[in-house]
Amino acid sequence: MDNDRDSHSFGRYLQTIRLEKNISLEQVAEQTRIGVGNLLLVEQEDHEQLPAEVFVKGFLRSYAAAVGADGDEAVRRYEARLNVAQKIAQSENGAGRSETRSRWKLMIICGLFLGVIAVSVMVISLISRTPDSEKPAQLKPPAEQETPAVGQSSGGIALSSESKEKNTGKLSLLITAVEKTWIKVIIDEKESTEYNLNPGDELVLEAAKGYNLLIGNAGGLKITLNNKPVIVPGESGQVVTIHLP
């Protein structure tokens, strides 16, 4: 029986002796003043739920005294089991750190790989570019000569209307009525023509030599000869005669 007890852990060691003596956990709790819940944690060896090591050792000695077990043996078993649990935890932590280091190594390798790709792309891009100095010069098409517009000389100097009219030898007369009036017109000393004009009416005439005008209302007309204004003497309602040019 003693050999069997030596092979058990601290929780099973105390529980086996308690059951052999038909002692309930409630009786142990009443004698030791330790809660039944903590006694169960001791028997189940729940290291995560048990309090600090110093308190657990006190629980074990009190439990052992209540059931007639060896308190030092219970503490020795507890320390041995605690040592094993700590080694397991350290091993798990070491595995976690190793996994973390592996992840960092993988990230570094991926970063270096991406860096190599980026540098390669830049080098290829630079090689594929042709320097501006090596590009063939683009020839601009010769400027097209503009055809002089009507009324413009080949030297780019615009001819005035007066010059054109001198070239054609014609006298253009524009008569605009601003008041109701009548007018008698003799062109180039030939037959005469009479006109009755209302405000806004216009009369356009051409002559080779000149005009003789008899105006029934001096203030009722505006006259231009070859785009130059002609002053009509007299006032509104006055009859006047004008010779142009």
First-to-last C-alpha distance (Å) of the chain: 157
**Cα–Cα–Cα angle for 240, 244, 245, rounded to 5 degrees:** 145
CA dihedral 74, 31, 35, 8 (to 10 degrees): 20
Predicted local distance difference test score (pLDDT) of residue 159: 37
Q: Domains in the chain, please, with CATH?
A: 2-85 (1.10.260.40), 168-244 (2.60.40)
213: nearest Cα among 177, 174, 244, 176: 244
Which pLDDT score, from 0 to 100, does residue 23 have? 97
Mean pLDDT by 10 residues, the chain (245 residues): 57 95 96 95 92 94 96 94 84 72 82 87 78 52 49 42 55 94 93 93 93 92 94 91 91
Give the burial class of 68: count Cβ atoms within 10 A of its Cβ; 0-12 exposed, 13-18 middle, 19 or more buried. Answer: exposed
DSSP state of 138: P
